[in-house]
Structure 1
Amino acid sequence: MFLVLVVTEELREFLARARSGAGRLIQVLIRDEQLVLGAYREPRQSWDKDYDHFLLPLLDPNEPCYILYRMDTKNAQGYEWLFISWSPDQSPEDVCLQGYLRHVTSCSAPAPLTAAEQELQRIKITEGRVKQVKTEITVDPKHQTLQGLAFPLQAEAKRALQQLAERRINYIQLKLDTEKERIDLVHTSPTEIRDLPCRIPLDTPRYHFFLYKHSHEGDYLESVVFIYSMPGYSCSIKERMLYSSCKSRLLEEVERDFYLEVAKKLEIDSGEELTEEYLYDEVHPKQHAHKQAFAKPRGPAGKRGNKRIIKGGGENGGNS
């Protein structure tokens, strides 16, 4: 059910005259389900200097009211006015001059971002800063391409890669320091295939180099396998983007500077995938033989006879 408030004739006429701009403030009260004129003030100084002096004394903690306050600015219809609805459950600080200015600032500010939007904004800032100082650009006559981000390898990480190249260790785990923009060594614990699932973190990405020792077709092999572990969406968007962007440049540096031939590059989201059978099939994929179609038997050698035309019988099976 709606309550209809009637505007008194006195207030209606007063509002009509107020359009000329002679008044600064008009207070409207509710009396017997009618809107009546409460108070009226004429301008003395600029709108902001008159604001608190005129408005705050009219705020009754026990009675709601409406206030029309004239600004000094104009538009096509004349002076611009503020409409203020005062209720006793509000604080005067909400409608004072500073409260009004805070309201204007909040209205002109960008809309608040969600957590995901804030994260994307941080990624764009970080990515732009990193690309300026770290990204190499390859230029050809037709286009430019960014070859990925290049975070530098720290000394311990380089030493570990050299040891792997010399077959003195068989496992390396690396991580990105996204704040310092570098690649750090996590550890080089001796690792067997059965240990690999335990080496994969559940909540953060990692780079792994594993020396896969095995036999294939009677030959003993030591194959370097690169594993990029990314545990789904349990890590931040920023981490996913940076790890993905740095991967190719890291592999280029490893193969170029440490002469490590990477036999297989894997991307996983869980350590449960890393079994003996899985690694073997990835390093030595099965070759699928193509099934040969049956050849059509050839006809007898020699010259074929002339083609013969055989006439069919009539509708009743008789000769024509």
Structure 2
Amino acid sequence: MDHTCQLTVVLAVLSPPVSPKLASVWKQVTSYGSKVRAVKVSIINESLEDDGIFDIQGSFEQDFGIVSENLAEKQPAYFLVRLDSTRVGSSEWLFLCFVPDIAPIRQKMIYAATRASLSKDLGDSHFTDSIYGTHMNDFTLDGYKRHRASLAAPKPLSERERQLAEIHASEKLLVESMKGGSYRKAHAPGMNFPLTDRAIAALQKLAVTKAPTPAKPRFGAAVASSSSKAVLSPASTPLPASPVISRQNTEQEVKKTDSEANVADDEWDDDNDDAKDKKAKEEEETAAPAEEEEKSPAEPEPQAEPEPEPAVEEAPVERTINFVKLAIDAENERIDLASETKITAKDVYKNIDEDSPRFTFFAFEHTHNGTPQDSLVFMYTCPTKSKIRERMLYSSCRAGVLQAAKDEANLDVAKKLETTDVSDLTEA
């Protein structure tokens, strides 16, 4: 048997029992209508006996001095004190155990070991609180108030327990925030904190804009109206073929040819007269509609379509800033501008906080394989030494910030980075 088991057995044997007298006294003082404020219990002749009974003189606080007045500096003792509060029709009691450091070792061991058995024998349900102390000032009214204050204070927690408590508090805050408000603007799932106007204005400066080159339209020849009609002149009528005279023609043939030519001329004149009559008739038919067109409002002549000019490459306007850092204003439930500037890539990490989370946008202008590149980088930094509540808020707002940058500033993020150490944000 090891030493621990031996000590437990010894203490169990040494624990004295509650005497019949103490049991009777305790039954009386806990009965309805009892006026007893406190009972002192001591170990006498190897048993637990009442060592003093004290009546109620005033309130609990006024009577608490009875305890310190009846304790000996070097002698362990128990005190059972009635509280002013009641529970289920019976009074509540306070269990006090005084074991001074300067008391004999054997007494200290016995009183310490008997404390639990005494409370159990008298009835644990009677006692709502207990105090174990080694100094007299632990049993004054001020000492009792310090004890109550320590019970109300948060219990000492390990680092892990503290983090869990902060997470629980943050989750509660998130739930409260998500209940909504008319001023909130939902960008994406998660927290819906809106961006301030100056934050949006700073993000808009990161957008690459072009300097527009005005195009000068060139107009071609006027296009004829589709309603215009083509009129054929008599000259457009094909003429009869002229006779061919050769040296071999005889005089008779020449005369015959001349005769035929005269006939052809007569026929041409007739045809020409017919053409003139036909033209006059057409002019009469078109005269009436023309008069009506003159009376009606003149329709604008169709304009020629401008011919497109060859596309001219537009030069990008130089940015005034290329770095925008945003921070959450938790008190006002919004995301505000923390800073804006123009820096080089190697100085990015120097401009980001090392102890608090941040959202950062950086326009990274560089050259890749001889080709100029312009990439917008989003960086979410969340240092491990920052508060858990901050880390949860920023994590919940991250998606909303990205969506707001797209909707409000027309920004397309090319690369997203997330780190707990800002020194990781190098140009490489």
Residue 248 of structure 1, CA deviation:
0.9
**Residue 200 (structure 2) aligned to one of 144, 158, 165:** 158
3-state SS of 2:206 partner: helix
Q: Which residue of 1 aligns with 2:327?
A: 175
Matches within 5 A, 1:291-310: none
TM-score (norm 2): 0.49
Q: Is the 8 A contact 2:357 2:380 kept in 1?
A: yes
Q: Which residue of 2 aligns with 1:27?
A: 40
The structure whose residues are more often helix, as a share, is 2
CA distance in 1, matches of 2:148, 2:346: 63
CA distance in 2, matches of 1:137, 1:151: 8
Q: Which residue of 2 aligns with 1:59?
A: 71
Q: Which residue of 2 aligns with 1:293?
A: none
- Aligned AA for 1:172? V
Q: Which residue of 2 aligns with 1:147?
A: 189
Higher relative contact order (CA 8 A, sep 6+): 2
Count of residue pairs brought into register by the alignment: 265
CA spacing shift, 1:20–1:263, aligned 2, 3 Å: closer
CA distance in 1, matches of 2:349, 2:153: 49
Q: Which residue of 2 aligns with 1:120?
A: 167
CA distance in 2, matches of 1:195, 1:109: 46
Residue 107 of structure 1, CA deviation:
6.0
CA spacing shift, 1:98–1:121, aligned 2, 3 Å: farther
- Aligned AA for 2:28? G
TM-score (norm 1): 0.63
Residue 252 of structure 1, CA deviation:
0.8
Q: Which residue of 1 aligns with 2:372?
A: 220
Q: Is the 8 A contact 1:135 1:149 kept in 2?
A: no
Q: Is the 8 A contact 2:178 2:191 kept in 1?
A: yes
Q: Is the 8 A contact 1:27 1:40 kept in 2?
A: yes
Q: Is the 8 A contact 2:363 2:377 kept in 1?
A: yes
Q: Which residue of 1 aligns with 2:391?
A: 240
Q: Which residue of 2 aligns with 1:13?
A: 20
3-state SS of 1:246 partner: helix
- Aligned AA for 1:157? A
The structure whose residues are more often strand, as a share, is 1
- Aligned AA for 1:208? T
Residue 124 of structure 1, CA deviation:
2.8
3-state SS of 2:166 partner: helix
CA spacing shift, 1:152–1:14, aligned 2, 3 Å: same
CA distance in 1, matches of 2:360, 2:93: 67
Q: Is the 8 A contact 1:47 1:70 kept in 2?
A: no
CA distance in 1, matches of 2:186, 2:426: 39
Matches within 5 A, 1:62-77: 62-68=74-80
Q: Which runs of 5+ in 1 are unaligned?
A: 139-145, 279-320
3-state SS of 2:40 partner: strand
CA spacing shift, 1:70–1:15, aligned 2, 3 Å: farther
3-state SS of 1:116 partner: helix
Identity of aligned residues (%): 34
Q: Which runs of 5+ in 2 are unaligned?
A: 1-6, 102-133, 210-317
CA spacing shift, 1:251–1:64, aligned 2, 3 Å: same
CA root-mean-square deviation: 4.2
CA distance in 1, matches of 2:336, 2:186: 24
- Aligned AA for 1:61? E
Q: Which residue of 1 aligns with 2:357?
A: 205
3-state SS of 1:66 partner: strand
3-state SS of 2:19 partner: helix
Matches within 5 A, 1:230-309: 230-231=382-383, 233-276=384-427, 278=428
3-state SS of 1:176 partner: strand
Q: Is the 8 A contact 2:361 2:379 kept in 1?
A: yes
Residue 101 of structure 1, CA deviation:
7.8
